[in-house]
Structure 1
Amino acid sequence: MRILYVSPYPPARDGIGTYTHVLARAVRERGHEIAVVAARPDPAAPAEVVGALGGGGAASLRAAVARFRPDMVHVQFAVPAFGARSLAVARWLAAPGVPAVATLHEVSRDTALLRGPGRALYRRLARGCGRLIVHTRAARDTLGALGLDGKATVVPHFSAPPPPATGTAAALRARFGLGDARVLLAFGHVHVSKGLDDLVRAMATLPPATLDDVRVVVAGAVRRRHGPFRVFEARDHLHEATVRRLARRYGLRDRLVFTGYVPDGDIAAWFAAAEAVVLPYRDAEQSGVANLARAFGVPVIATTAGGLAELFEGSPWAVPPGAPDRLAAAITDFLATAPHAGDATRTPGTDLATVTARTIAVYEAVRGPLARTPGNRPDAP
């Protein structure tokens, strides 16, 4: 098959883009051809990127897609990933042409945040898709509330390491003045839903002796947004400022380390430096960070928000969201155990090979009854 991915894509700094890059590479290794229409143009894009939404005009994009002659279109969708281009993606999928599927990475969060317009957008997007892929049962339930559960397929987020490391844990410890401290890692984009304020409040209740050799490393930056969605970027910057103020108020400034954006080569090093990954999320669709932790074998202290409840069912370090006291108790319990104790194994079925095979099976199921003469979608943005 020739599969066209529509998604953010490296070198863009986007978790969905990284997901697509890893998945597309695995699909290609199974003998399929792949090409990508990126969410935004980038002169440094790799060779498989044949065009971008809004880059060079609709005619040139249609021509590039026509030259590739896809058998299947796979959109990796979340409103923050496409911003103002989200409607263009929905219009493209609604046009007759090549069979399509969409992986919905943040359907619960998007529809809760955008309410009626968000629900309408997802229903419109779904009309052009043979199947909708989600990563968790909670996300499937959200589709059910939208009347779309008949198209839903749950395919877990894969657990796969990032690109090879170019940095080391020792180098990071030296760069950020961590010494021999025990590192609790809060990794990924800084976002208001990720509960970093709850984490600071939890740390403030720990005994001073426990805090002496612990550092919380916030390894990531606020996600860049575009167009009218910059209001959400501003909200996340405000959240980061609030977290910093809380740390000053509780006397924890020297226990909280913000690294800013993490280059790909340092990702593995941060997980190697971490004694545990902390996910104090208030709400969550799923978590690529959690799957990275499992791929690296690092224990996770997490709330049971959204799909995290499924991922960490039965974990001794799973706590309700929005409960700093319970989070503090879980951290205390974890720190009292031997380093790297506990179950950090992968959830069955989340290895990359299994996820790739299940995704290809979705392509085949959709293409069977819906396949048409390969060609481009005439209304490609």
Structure 2
Amino acid sequence: MRVGLALYGSIDGRSGGFRYDRRLVSGLRRAGDTVTVIELPWRGYGRGLADNASPGFRRRLETGADVLLQDELAHPSLVSTNRRLDQPIVSIVHHLRASEPRRLAPLYRAVERRYLDTVDAVICNSAPTRDSVVDLGVDPRACVVAPPAGDRFDPEIADRTIEERAEEGPLRVVFVGNVAPRKGLDTLVEAVARADAPMEVTVVGRPVDTDHFRAVARTIREQGLGDRIRMTGELADERLAGTLARSHVVAVPSRHEGFGIVYLEGMSFGLPAVASSAGGARDVVTDGENGFLVAPDDPGAVAAALDQLATDRGELAAMGRAARRRYEAHPGWSETTDRVRDLLAGVARAAT
């Protein structure tokens, strides 16, 4: 099968969405498929919409593939272009922009609805993502849920190690993600300011929104949290694995997550998750069992969850064991690739 994949930016990017696309390409190639990657320049929303009027842009997508995969994040450049392409199209949806609490959400919802109307099928990273896609008018029979594996580190860790770690020192919290409004670092910082129990927070991530990063840093200074919150920037995988192995809990109280692979990666180290109830984290995090689901923008709920784990180390250990079991039960990349290949083959056959 000849497959094209169009996406904004470089497939070698470090975010969860890029890792998903990269692992999918590797899996398809190992299965014998030919995959051509089309890396499109990052666009602001308006500039992306203007791409639809460019014949040159359209020609970049005409690869002669049996089926063209598209990362849905590039939808502004594709919403009208797709109607002029003579090949079946399957969209990979990590999360819909319309699902984020933004001022322009009604515009994004209208454009994404039109974009999804141009594709033949959709690959979703979680059941909640599938639900949001169906809500925009896609036939549920044209959707497949193919979650990421979360085995970036795949450490060996025994229950005894999780239990012994749970008894150590102040609660060690790790945040992993781009420092941008959607990820909710500001909510976590406010929660630490409200929490009663002593805790140490390590923030791992690249500042992609300068204003947000400065606002968070200012809050840390004004709240006197400099001795409790350490910001490391982005870390190489080996150093990140060491940080996760030393931590007690992963806390990323996002305003929305399509899936939230960071929660699953934390669970591979036996870390319960404090996660957003908005979006796909519900596919991984069971509230009160292997972590806590909190509403977006609720630092009080985050503080309560962290205080509970800090003061009840038996519960921390139990949730850590449950987190590791949840990771072990999660589908691997081979199963995800098989689901995607079955969908692509069906779409390609229907087009002949």
TM-score class, shorter: 0.7 to 0.9
C-alpha distance in 2 between matches for 1:265 and 1:122: 38
Query: 1:234-245 residue pairs with structure 2 within 5 A?
Result: 237-245=210-218
Q: Using the alignment, how far apart are the partners of 1:245 and 1:154 within structure 2?
A: 43
Note closer, same or farther for the CA distance 1:254–1:136 as it changes in structure 2 (3 Å cut). Answer: same
How many Å separate the matches in 2 of 1:39 and 1:163? 29
Q: Which amino acid in the other structure matches residue 200 of structure 2?
A: R
**Structure 1 CA distance, aligned partners of 2:61 and 2:146?**
31
Correspondence list, 1:1-381, <5 A: 1-7=1-7, 8-40=9-41, 62=59, 66=63, 69-78=64-73, 82=74, 86-107=75-96, 109=98, 113=102, 114-150=104-140, 152-162=142-152, 182-207=171-196, 210-211=197-198, 214-223=199-208, 233=209, 237-316=210-289, 317-321=291-295, 322-335=297-310, 336-337=312-313, 341-342=318-319, 343-344=322-323, 345-346=326-327, 348-371=329-352
The alpha-carbon distance between structure 1 residues 63 and 106, as it changes in their structure 2 partners (threshold 3 A), is closer
Give the TM-score, by structure 1 length: 0.73
Preserved contact between residue 257 and residue 278 of structure 2 (Cα < 8 Å)? yes
Corresponding residue SS for 1:301: strand
Per-residue CA shift, 1:321-368, capped at 9, x if unaligned?
233232222212223325654211228553212211111111122112
When residues 362 and 201 of structure 1 are mapped into structure 2, their CA distance, relative to the original with a 3 A threshold, is same
Aligned letter for 2:6? V
Matched AA of 2:40: A
Partner AA of 1:337 in structure 2: R
The whole-number CA distance in structure 2 between the counterparts of 1:205 and 1:239 is 20
Q: How far apart are residue 202 of structure 1 and its match?
A: 1.9
- Tell me the distance in 2 between the aligned counterparts of 1:93 and 1:64: 9
Cα distance in 1 for partners of 2:57, 2:193 equals 56
Distance 2:141 2:100 in 1: 17
The alpha carbon displacement at 1:183 in A equals: 3.0
Deviation at 1:277, TM superposition (A): 0.8
CA distance in 2, matches of 1:267, 1:9: 22
Distance 1:159 1:109, change over 3 A: farther
Closer, same or farther in 2 for the Cα pair 1:251/1:121, shift >3 Å?
same
- Would you say how many aligned residue pairs link Structure 1 and Structure 2? 320
Change (3 A) 1:30 1:125: same
Shift of 1:101: 0.4
Q: Once the two structures are superposed, what CA deviation does each residue of 1:84-136 show, in whole Å capped at 9, x if it has no partner?
A: xx433233322232211001112154575333331232123223311122223
Q: Shift of residue 25 of structure 1?
A: 0.7
1:105–1:285 contact (8 Å) kept in structure 2: yes
C-alpha RMSD of matched pairs (Å): 3.2
In structure 1, how many angstroms separate the alpha carbons of the residues matched to 2:127 and 2:151? 24
Give the superposition deviation at 1:216.
Answer: 0.9
Q: Which amino acid aligns with 1:30?
A: A
Structure 1: stretches of 5+ with no match in the other structure: 42-53, 166-179, 224-232, 372-381
Q: In structure 1, how many angstroms separate the alpha carbons of the residues matched to 2:278 and 2:101?
A: 14
Q: Match for 1:126: what amino acid?
A: L
| Contact 2:125/2:148, CA 8 A, preserved across alignment | no
Q: Give the match for residue 158 of structure 2.
A: none
What is the distance in 2 between the residues matched to 1:299 and 1:6?
A: 35
What stretches of structure 2 of length at least 5 have no aligned partner? 43-50, 156-168
Once the two structures are TM-superposed, the CA of residue 241 in structure 1 deviates from its matched residue by 2.3
Change (3 A) 1:347 1:123: farther
